[in-house]
Amino acid sequence: MSGFQLWPDNPTRRQFFAGPGLRMGALALGMMAHKNAKANPDPSHLVNPALPGLPHHKPTAKALIYLHMNGAPSQIDLWDYKPKLQEYFNKDIPPSIRGAQRLSTMTSGQARFPVAPSKFTFQRAGKCGTWINTDLMPHTSRVVDEIALIKTVNTNAINHDPACTFVMTGSEVPGKASIGSWLAYGLGSLSNNLPGFVVLTPRFPADSNGQALFTRMWSSGFLPTAYNGVALRGSGDPVLYLKNPEGVSTADRRAMLDTLGSLNRMNSDRLHDPEIQSRIGQYEMAYRMQSSVPELTDLSNEPKHILDLYGPNVTSPGSYAHSAIMARRLVERGVRAVQLLHRGWDQHGGLPRELGNQCKDTDQANAGLIMDLKQRGMLDETLVVWGGEFGRTVYCQGGLERDNYGRDHHPRNYCMWMAGGGIKGGITHGETDDFSYNILKDPVPVNDLNATILHCLGIDHERFSFRFQGLDQRLTGVEPQKVVKELLA
C-alpha cells in the first residue's frame, strides 16, 4: 500500500473509500490534491463522489455561490421601487397596511410610524426593464438581464441571530446543517484538492453597523463535521496552519511525511484499522494543499481586463472584490458551494449614507462576478444567490428627513436575487403592496427558496434527508415546501 500520492489513479483507493473509515474522512476526500489544480470532470477520478442516487435529476447548476448580505439590506432602497411613497413622506403608515404585526421592540414603543420614501433614483435597466436603484448599483444594473429578482422572500424571524440561522440552515434553532454543508454532503466535490464548501468573510465598511457572524451559518450541524464550511481567511494563512513553521522547508516536510507514512503503514499492517490508511491519505492531501491553496489565491495570472471587472480593490486580500474573484476561482476548481458573508447592512439610522458605502463595497464586484462567469461560459452551470436575512420597514426609525432616515427589521417581505445555473434571467417574481409592507402575490418563504436552490443543483429537497434526533432532517424543514418553478429557465 505504498505510494499514496498516486491515489487518484489507484483503484484500491475506491475500495478503501467504501470502507467505514471514509464516512468520517469525507472532508479529506474533497481535498485530495492533484498537481493540477483545475477541476477534473471525470467522475471516476473523484475522491469525494456524490451520495448514491444523487443528483436526483439532471442539475442545471454544478455549484452555488451564495452572496449573503448580512444585516438585512433595505429592499425599499435597492430593488422594491415604490414611487407612490413620495406622497406619504412623514405621514403615518396607514393602519390597514400595518395591521397587527409584531414589531421589533426597537420600534414597537415608537409613538408614530412615519413613512420614509427612498431618497434614491430608480430606473428600468437592461432589456428586461427591471427597476433598480441606479444611484447605488450602477454596475449591477448592467447585468439585470441575467437576474431573477424575487420581491417576496419572507421569514418568521425578526432578529438577526435567529434569522441568519434560519436563512442558512432552514431553522431558527442552532444545530442544523447549513446549505453549503448539505451540498458538500450530498453532491460531493468536483475538486480533489479543495474542500467541497468554502466560506469567505470579507471586510466591510468600518462605520457600517456590523452584526456578528456565527460559525453555525456554515456549520455542518448534525452532518459529519467533515462537511463544515472551510473559511478561507483574508489575512494570514488562507487556510489555518497551512504554512510550515519557520525553519521547516518543503523538503523537510516531505522527508518527515515519508517517514511518518512508513511508520503509520507498519502500524496499519499490525492492526488493520482502515482509519490508519485514511489518515495517511489526509497527510498527503495536507501536503498538497500547502501548494494548491497558494496557487488558488495567486491572482498574478489573471489578466487586467478580468481584474478590472471586479473593481479597484480586487487585489487586496480580504476585500469583497477579492473574495468575489476568489469565489469564481474556487468554483472553477470544482468547489461545490462558496459562501460570501458581507457584513454591515443593518441600517437603523443614517441609512442613505451607510447603504451607499455598502453598495460601493459590493456593487461592482457582484456585477463583475456575473460578467466574468458569463464570459467564460460558467454562468450556465453556476447558481449565484444574493440576499440578506430579512427586509427593512417602510416606516422610519429615529429622525426622518427627506435624505436621512433609518429603518427597522421587516421579516414580512424582502428582496433576493438569483442568477445563472438554470434561473430565468431578467424576470421579477412576486408583488408587494405600495408600502413594501405586505405581499400581494407569490410569496416565497425562505425554505421555498432553499428548495429551489437544491432543485437547481439536481436535488429533490423532500428526498434529501439525514436521520438525526429521531427525525429525517431536511434543509427545508418538516413542513411541506415547494420549488418556485417560475424562477426556472
Between residue 443 and residue 462, which ones bind another protein under the rule CB under 8 A?
A: 462
Give the helix ranges, DSSP H, for 349-445. 351-375
Number of residues that bind another protein (CB under 8 A): 103
Q: Does 480 bind another protein (CB under 8 A)?
A: no
Q: Does 224 bind another protein (CB under 8 A)?
A: yes
**Minimum distance from residue 21 beta carbon to another protein (Å):** 7
Q: Which of 339, 310, 315 has its CA nearest to residue 231?
A: 339
**Whole-Å CA distances, 354 to 346, 397, 404:** 9, 15, 10
Q: Does 440 bind another protein (CB under 8 A)?
A: no
What b/e readout covers 26-50, taking b as 16+ CB neighbours within 10 angstroms? bbbbbbbbbeebebbeeeeebbbbb
Nearer to another protein, 25 or 387 (CB): 25
Q: Does 118 bind another protein (CB under 8 A)?
A: no
Give the separation between CA 238 and CA 293, rounded to whole angstroms.
Answer: 8
Among positions 189, 192, 201, 452, the unique one binding another protein when judged by CB under 8 A: 201
**Whole-Å CA distances, 400 to 52, 127, 267, 428:** 57, 36, 72, 30
Q: How far is CA 252 from the centre of its chain?
A: 38
Q: Does 213 bind another protein (CB under 8 A)?
A: yes
Q: Which stretch binds another protein (CB under 8 A): 42-50, 60-68, 141-149, 468-476?
A: 468-476
Q: Which of 77, 119, 184, 30 has its CA nearest to residue 410?
A: 77
Q: Which of 20, 373, 7, 22 has its CA nearest to residue 193?
A: 7
Among positions 270, 304, 305, 485, the unique one binding another protein when judged by CB under 8 A: 270
Q: Does 397 bind another protein (CB under 8 A)?
A: yes
Q: How far is CA 303 from the centre of its chain?
A: 26
Among positions 8, 49, 94, 175, the unique one binding another protein when judged by CB under 8 A: 175
Nearer to another protein, 414 or 417 (CB): 414
Give the separation between CA 92 and CA 116, rounded to whole angstroms.
Answer: 9
Nearer to another protein, 127 or 254 (CB): 254
Q: Which stretch binds another protein (CB under 8 A): 38-46, 74-82, 120-128, 463-471?
A: 463-471
Cα dihedral 241, 242, 248, 253 sign = positive
Q: Does 264 bind another protein (CB under 8 A)?
A: yes
Q: Which stretch binds another protein (CB under 8 A): 35-43, 75-83, 260-268, 410-418?
A: 260-268
Give the separation between CA 6 and CA 261, rounded to whole angstroms.
Answer: 14
**Minimum distance from residue 211 beta carbon to another protein (Å):** 6
Q: Does 317 bind another protein (CB under 8 A)?
A: no
Q: Which of 457, 333, 381, 477 has its CA nearest to residue 50?
A: 457
Nearer to another protein, 9 or 246 (CB): 246
Cα dihedral 163, 164, 165, 166 sign = positive
**Minimum distance from residue 202 beta carbon to another protein (Å):** 9
Amino acid at residue number 28: A
Q: Which of 316, 84, 82, 66 has its CA nearest to residue 178?
A: 66
Nearer to another protein, 12 or 375 (CB): 12
Q: Which of 434, 392, 388 has its CA nearest to residue 168?
A: 388
**Minimum distance from residue 268 beta carbon to another protein (Å):** 8
Q: Does 374 bind another protein (CB under 8 A)?
A: no
Q: Does 214 bind another protein (CB under 8 A)?
A: yes
**Whole-Å CA distances, 407 to 87, 105, 114, 442, 486:** 18, 13, 11, 24, 31
Q: Does 100 bind another protein (CB under 8 A)?
A: no
Q: Which stretch binds another protein (CB under 8 A): 71-79, 180-188, 201-209, 385-393?
A: 201-209
Nearer to another protein, 190 or 257 (CB): 257
Q: Does 362 bind another protein (CB under 8 A)?
A: no
Among positions 155, 181, 192, 219, the unique one binding another protein when judged by CB under 8 A: 219
Cell reading at 104: 421589533
Q: Does 225 bind another protein (CB under 8 A)?
A: yes
Q: Does 90 bind another protein (CB under 8 A)?
A: no
Nearer to another protein, 397 or 432 (CB): 397
Q: Does 161 bind another protein (CB under 8 A)?
A: yes
Q: Which of 301, 161, 222, 225 has its CA nearest to residue 472?
A: 222
Under rule CB under 8 A, which residues in 17-36 are in contact with another protein? Answer: 19-21, 24-28, 31
Mask for 277-296, x = binds another protein (CB under 8 A): -xxx-xx-xx--xx------
Q: Does 488 bind another protein (CB under 8 A)?
A: no
